[in-house]
């Protein structure tokens, strides 16, 4: 690559959370696909097992039995892929993952939509065309669904490992889930 060549920009950042506490730094993704896993002796990507545990007290953290159990279920984790039509997630673990994003929400619906993705299946977690249409029309995503906890980001995706949240689950908020990801999309395309 010549020194005059433009530098490739990241297409997203990935943040790993345990309950309400972010663990480690934001992980910038430059390649079109990234594996996010817990403990894999071979392979490349974002290895959550290499991050320092958050410790005991406060909002959960590494010392929690619930967090330890959930970490054990991440396994091979997910593969995130940035495709021309949007961002896809493939569940490579042996347990379901749960996903929420503004483009998965039902138009006009004021409650949070969380999709369950079984092992071996994939889902388009973010649709670029739908996102642009919602921005331009001031549709449901402009105000965001009724998310009573935390700020609303129309360019983010939340993925929980093994534990669901929302109106259909005992955990109402993703911050009640022991292990989860926040995908912060860089939509300056």
Segment 112-167, tens digit of pLDDT: 889 999 999 999 999 999 888 877 765 544 444 444 455 568 889 999 999 999 98
Element (H, E) at 49: none
Q: How far is CA 154 from the centre of its chain?
A: 13
Q: Is 164 left (phi over 0), alpha (psi -120 to 50) or beta?
A: beta
Q: CA-CA distance, 56 to 61, in Å (whole number)?
A: 6
pLDDT at 33 over 70: yes
pLDDT the model gives residue 60: 42
**Structural domain spans, the chain:** 31-50+64-136+152-185
pLDDT in tens, 51-108: 876 544 444 444 589 999 999 999 999 999 999 999 999 999 999 999 999 888 777 6
CATH topology of domain 31-50+64-136+152-185: Tumour Suppressor Smad4 (2.60.200)
pLDDT at 35 over 50: yes
Q: Which DSSP string do the residues of 20-32 spell out, in sequence order?
A: TEEEEEEEEE-SS
pLDDT at 41 over 70: no
């Amino acid at each position: 690559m010549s020194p005059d060549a433009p530098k490739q920009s990241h297409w997203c950042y990935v943040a790993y959370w345990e309950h309400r506490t972010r663990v480690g730094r934001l992980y910038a993704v430059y390649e079109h696909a990234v594996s996010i896993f817990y403990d894999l002796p071979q392979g490349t990507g974002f290895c959550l097992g290499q991050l320092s545990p958050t410790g005991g007290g406060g909002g959960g953290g590494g010392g929690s039995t619930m967090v330890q159990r959930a970490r054990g279920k991440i396994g091979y984790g997910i593969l995130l892929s940035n495709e021309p039509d949007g961002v896809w997630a493939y569940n490579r673990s042996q347990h379901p993952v749960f996903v929420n994003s503004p483009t998965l929400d039902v138009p006009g619906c004021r409650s949070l939509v969380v999709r369950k993705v079984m092992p071996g299946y994939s889902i388009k977690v973010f649709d670029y065309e739908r996102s642009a249409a919602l921005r331009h029309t001031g549709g449901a995503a402009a105000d965001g669904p009724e998310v009573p906890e935390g700020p609303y980001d129309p360019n983010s995706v939340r993925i929980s490992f093994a534990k669901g949240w929302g109106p259909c689950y005992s955990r109402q908020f993703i911050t009640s889930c022991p292990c989860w990801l926040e995908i912060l999309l860089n939509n300056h395309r």
